[in-house]
């Protein structure tokens, strides 16, 4: 009888261990704001000129375009802060669908398979070096850092379209039709 009980405990432990090892994590970290990772999710930026950057945020299939747009806007402010700029203006802001990049490695080659789409945001930004350059179309880095919780928390109410409209920025919607 004791052997049977120990065997069941061992089976339960092995089953639990199997779940942790073999099932990929679907935790909160995959949905959070972060730099581009090996799964091609997160933010990246490219300098396109003097104080000009293109910022891109690629999401996961279950994330909303609204949330990905918020992440793109926040990365614009964060990058300005890192570089010492007090403000920036948005030249263009686009929400789109893009292929979900999945890389499969085999013994003989590496293949990229795109069988689904994911939300993405692209923001072209011009960074301003002095406060007098601020206009009604500019974003203060301080302002966006102060509303960081609203931008990054998917459970907080924040209307990205309305917020950008107050600054004269239109969001281009390049999403594919369902």
Number of domains in the chain: 1
Q: What pLDDT score was predicted for residue 15?
A: 41
Measure Cα distances from 155 to 94, 149, 160 in Å.
22, 10, 14
Residue 29 covered by a domain: no
**SS3 at position 118:** strand
pTM for this one? Answer: 0.74
> Is residue 106 predicted with pLDDT exceeding 90?
no
Phi, psi of 158, rounded to the nearest 5 degrees: -160, 120
Residue 27 covered by a domain: no
Q: What pLDDT score was predicted for residue 130?
A: 75
In sequence order, which residues have a C-beta less than 8 Å from that of residue 50 and are 6 or more positions away? none
Residue 20 covered by a domain: no
Domain that holds residue 87: 34-174
Q: Tell me the pLDDT tens digit for each residue of 1-58.
A: 556 665 555 454 434 333 333 333 333 344 689 999 988 899 999 999 999 999 999 9
Say how many residues make up the chain.
178
Residue 24 covered by a domain: no
Residue 26 covered by a domain: no
Q: Which residue has the higher pLDDT, 164 or 134?
A: 164
Residue 135 covered by a domain: yes
Residue 46 covered by a domain: yes
Q: What pLDDT score was predicted for residue 117?
A: 83
Give the pairing type, strands 87-99 and 171-174.
parallel
Phi, psi of 94, rounded to the nearest 5 degrees: -130, 135
- Indicate the average pLDDT of the chain: 80
Residue 56 covered by a domain: yes
């Amino acid at each position: 009888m004791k052997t049977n009980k120990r065997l069941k405990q061992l089976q339960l432990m092995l089953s639990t261990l199997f779940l942790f090892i073999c099932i990929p994590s679907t935790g909160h970290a995959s949905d959070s704001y972060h730099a581009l990772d090996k799964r091609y999710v997160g933010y990246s930026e490219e300098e396109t000129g003097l104080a000009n950057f293109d910022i891109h945020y690629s999401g996961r299939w279950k994330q909303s375009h609204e949330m990905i747009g918020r992440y793109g806007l926040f990365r614009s402010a964060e990058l300005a802060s890192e570089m010492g700029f007090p403000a920036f203006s948005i030249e263009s802001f686009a929400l789109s669908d893009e292929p979900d990049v999945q890389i499969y490695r085999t013994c003989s080659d590496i293949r990229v398979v795109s069988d689904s789409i994911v939300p993405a945001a692209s923001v072209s930004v011009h960074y301003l070096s002095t406060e007098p350059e601020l206009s009604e179309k500019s974003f203060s880095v301080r302002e966006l850092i102060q509303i960081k919780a609203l931008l990054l928390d998917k459970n907080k109410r924040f209307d990205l379209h309305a917020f950008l409209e107050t600054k004269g920025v239109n969001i281009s919607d390049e999403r594919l039709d369902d």
